[in-house]
Structures are given as structure tokens and as C-alpha cells.
Structure 1
Amino acid sequence: MDKLINTGTGLPLAATELSSVERAAITLLSMGEEAASAVLRCLSREELLDVTLVMARMNGVKVDAVQDTLQTFFDAFREQSSVRGASRQFLQRSLDMALGGVIADSVLNQIYGDVIGPKIARLQWAQPQWLAERLSREHVRMQAMFLAFLPAEQASQVLHALPVESCDLVLLQIARLKEIDHELLRDVEAVVDACIENLGTQSTAVEGAQRAAEIINRMPGDRAQVVELLRAHDPDVVAAVENHIYEFGILAHQNAETIAAILDQVPFEQWGIALKGAHPALQDALMRAMPQRQASAFDDMLRRTPAAPLSRVEGVRREIMDQLRELAAEGEIALQLVAEDVV
């Protein structure tokens, strides 16, 4: 088989080397936008990302390769469709006449799966904060039913974004759920439909304070002067920016002299709590700056320090960084805010 496609790697692939995702991409590109979009709506988030990435990178596909891929597709289609069953639309009309709409819906849901499931799957692209804002307008019971249909990880993120005072009530309502009657299910579906309809209006989350801190950290010249100029405009925002500028992880970037000075100022007991869950590189940087005996005692102390609540760990880290910021302002130490190459 002739060389076939280039997927952005610089290495063309032979037809026999095509993966199932690459064959799916060729098939979708051959279907036209409307048909392809109908197929894409049925994919999971991971499947959609995989196939669209290949579709975006694909170029130079030869006719014989397309024919080979489509022939394989239609061969598989014929194997699966020699006997055609009744469509859902046909069954819906028949069961409506035989049993009535409510019972027909119940029967069809058992045959095809629930109606809300595929719709909820489309909300996997929604940001938790955006969903939480829309749910906050609903009654607690509706919030609980909505979250019960979401994947657990996404539901936990949305719940976390809801007002704190309602979280426990929502969780309690979820725990009490056993069955959702037909009318309530329609109400939940209406909320899901409204979210899908407005999905394109969601904003993009931006960690402004963090981004500003990263930019300031990389600016040449007097960064402190820049911060003070900003403080004159909005002290509260600048306080958030400074928390990111002097983030605990920057201690791993310091030279041995600065770390030695820091160790002299911070009690060992604080390190035992502050280093819980920290990146191993930070602990290694601190221990490299110590004499061997002190490093051994430091390591032993870290092992003996019991687990602590996250809020306690973050509080101790903030105390350490506040102390170091004062020392830096007084010229006692020189903090390096970003990792830099050593030459």
C-alpha cells in the first residue's frame, strides 16, 4: 500500500498501520459535517478528543486509502445490519397507542436506556462553576436529582462550587433518593435541556491573580515597585497576587545560602507540618543545605510528625512565607521567585 497520511508527526503511515482512531477519523471526514456531528455527539469526552485531534492533524489522505477504510466500514455495517429492528420512533408510536405515553416512556427507557443519560453526557464539557451558578437557582431537591445523574467526579466539583450553606442539604437529599417519579424526571430533563441550550454562553475560567503573579515573577527590573504601583489601585487584588508570587513551592528554587538563612529563621516543628504533601524536590533542597547530622534529624522529625488537616498545613505554609517576605523586604534574604537555568 502506498504511503498514506501525515498526522503531524512528520512520519507518514501505511494503510496497514492505521489505528482504529485514524480509520474512524477518515470515515468521519468522508461523511459530511451533519452526519459526522451526529456521530460525534454519541462519543464520550475521551473518544471525542482522540478522534478530533487526529482529524485536525490529518492531511494528504490518498483516494485508495479512503476507499480501503470505507470498504472496511461498510463491510462491518452489513454484518451488523442484515436484520433491521424497529426504530425507537416506531416503537414510541406503537406503545403510545397500546399503553399510553407514561407507560410507553417507562418501557422504552428500559429498552434503550434513560433519556437523560445521553443529555447529561453532553454536560461533561461544562465548567463546574457555570453549572453551579445555574443550579443555584433551583430548589435543593432539584439540585440533588441533577447531581445524581452526573458522573461522581464532576458532581463533586459542582457541589463544591455551590454555596457552602447548601452543600450538606444537597448531599442529604442525594442520599435519600431511591426513585424519581415521571413528573419530576421531566422537570430534571427540562433543567438539563436548559443547560445544554445555554452551554455556549459559559465563560472561560481564568486564574487572574495567579497569571498576574507569574507575569510579575518573570518581569525584569524592580518587581517590588510594580507590586506597589498596583497596590495603590487595588490593595485586595494585589494581596491575592502576592500570595501567588510568594507561593510555598518557590523555596525549592533558592540557592544553598538562602535556604540556610531560611532554616535559621523557621522552627523545625513548622517544617514538619508545612512539608506535608509538598513536592519531594522542596524537601530535598532543604536537606541539601544542612549538615549531614542535622539533615538526619530533620528527616526523622518529618517522619514522626503526624498527619495534619489541609487547612492547618496551608496556614503554616502561609506563616512561613509571610515571615520570609518580611526578611526579603528588609534585605536579609534574596528570594528567587522562578526557577532559572544554571550555566
Structure 2
Amino acid sequence: MADMNSLERAAILLMSMGEKDAAEVLKQMGPKEVQRVGAAMSTLKSVSQDTVSGVLNEFLNECGAQSGLGIGAENYIRNMLTEALGEDRARGFLDRILLGSSGSGINSLKWMDPRSVADVIRLEHPQIQAVVLSYLDADQSANILAQFPEKVRLEIMMRIASLESVQPEALKELNHILEKQFSGKGSNPSTVIGGTKTAAEIMNNLDGAVEQELMEAIKGVDEDLGNQIQDLMFVFDNMRDVDDRGIQSLLREVSSEVLILALKGADDFLKEKFFNNMSKRAAELLRDDLEAKGPVRIVEVEAAQKEILVVARRMADAGEIQLGGGSEAMI
């Protein structure tokens, strides 16, 4: 149990439930969650009865600590978010929550492969394309953006970086149009969407060569905007700024195979940072595996590093780790 990450425990739990019950649980998850859990289930080999019992007991203990009280009222959510985030930020979150609760329209795009989404929005106005990519997760948006020609990518990214808000009615209308496509009140406050942070997140998920090409193109049009996006980008080399506790948490969520590939492209300082946050035995094994790995393609290294960055950003969004180490102000 101590050597298992949360994904592996979730996979064991679902496989212990039986197909019907597990399917009902998966229905409540988003596409990326289903993909991650499904991948973990596919890699499970021989699991001992003691391990299964341990996972089930842990799950039951966590469930026993819950109150069982489910609150989904819009007013409650609105008041809670406003109290926690302030009115402006809460409004944007609430619009996304309510829109995302639908299984159709824009939310349906999250379940589609990047090429299919690109085909759906290919003939739309670039501003519509920018809004859609701003709404989707950054890694999916990056894969969709890669389906477009270079000039189109540049225009879409420039528009994403310049976005500040979208009227809720406009977002709902777009959602309605997409619903119709899949099935054969201007005074309202705006929804916060897009911006340089969104652009940076999408750039982080692009292939290395495409990312560099697009950044140069953006700077060619607007150097200040390009620098703002670049300043917000979090690349693998920035892992040196994550504190030791964060690295330790991250290591529990990353497979050794992915870590080996990622560290093949890291400098000695960053390698030592990871080694120093492992047990002595684990660090020795990792060093041996790195030496035995031999040459690997750059594209494989970049893919592994991006996979770790996706996990790191997810954990940072959940408040489990802090990206940037001690450079951020604390109160």
C-alpha cells in the first residue's frame, strides 16, 4: 500500500466492485479522469488479497469520515465561492461549473479526440475557436491547436492571450449552437476566460518544436505579449524551484518509467534534486536505471517531461504542491 499511488488504489477499488458498479462510478468522472484510471487499471497485474483488503479498508475509513451531506444548490455554491474568492473570480468559476454540468455542447468536446474537435471548429471564426480552446483543458487545447496551420495557430493564440471575459449569454449561445451541431442579455456580468495564463498553459502542452515556432511568431507580432506568456510558462527545468515536500508528493504520482525518461533530458542539479527526495535505495536504483537506459529520442524525453508537468500543475491546482518554491509571497 505504501508504494502505491492514488491512481493505482482507485484502479484496484474499481476492479473490486464489479463491472456494473464500476461503470456507474466512471459515469461521474470527467474524460481525463476516466482515461487516467482506465490506464492504471490496464497496467495492474497480480494483486494480492491483502492489497485489495487494504485498499477497501482505506476507502471505507475515508467514507466513514464523510457526513453524507450533498449540497448542490446554486445559491449555496455562489455564496460559498464569493466568500472564498471574491465576487469577480467566483462569477467566472460558477459560470464554468453550471455550463460544465451539462453533458452536451462545449462540455462534449472534452470527450472527443483533438482532430475531431479541430474539425468541429475549423470553419468557425477565430474568436470562437479561441473561446473554445480557452474553455477546454490546456493539454487538450494544445493538441487541438497542433491540428491547425501555422498562421491559424498564431491568430488563435494571440486571441486567447488577449481574451479577458466572455458574456455568459454568448457562452450559452455557443453551447447551444454546438448542441444543435452534435444533434444533427448583454448587461450581464462577463465570464472570465482566456488571457495570458491560459495561453501559457496551452503553450506548455505543445510539442517542443511547435511551441518554439509559435512563441517566435507571437513575439514577431507583439514582443511584450510574447514575453508575458513566456514568463507564465512552467517548464520542466522550473522543477528545481519546487520545494522538497512538493517533489516528494509528486514522486508518489509519477511512474518510474516516465521519471527515467524525463530525467534523461535534465541537468545534474535537477537529477540530484529528485534523487535527494527518495530513499537511498530508490535513488540508487533510479541512478542504475538511468545509466542502463542508453540513448533515447528527444521527442520521448519531452513527452515524459510534459506528462510530469501535467501532474504537477494538477497537484498545484488542488493545493497539494506549490510550483515556484519559495519565490511566491506567503501570508
Could you say whether these structures have the same fold, taking a TM-score greater than 0.5 normalized by the shorter chain as the test? no
State which structure, 1 or 2, has the greater radius of gyration over its C-alpha atoms. 1
TM interval, short-chain normalised: 0.3 to 0.5
- The structure with higher relative contact order (CA 8 Å, sep 6+) is 2
TM-score of the pair, normalised by structure 2:
0.39
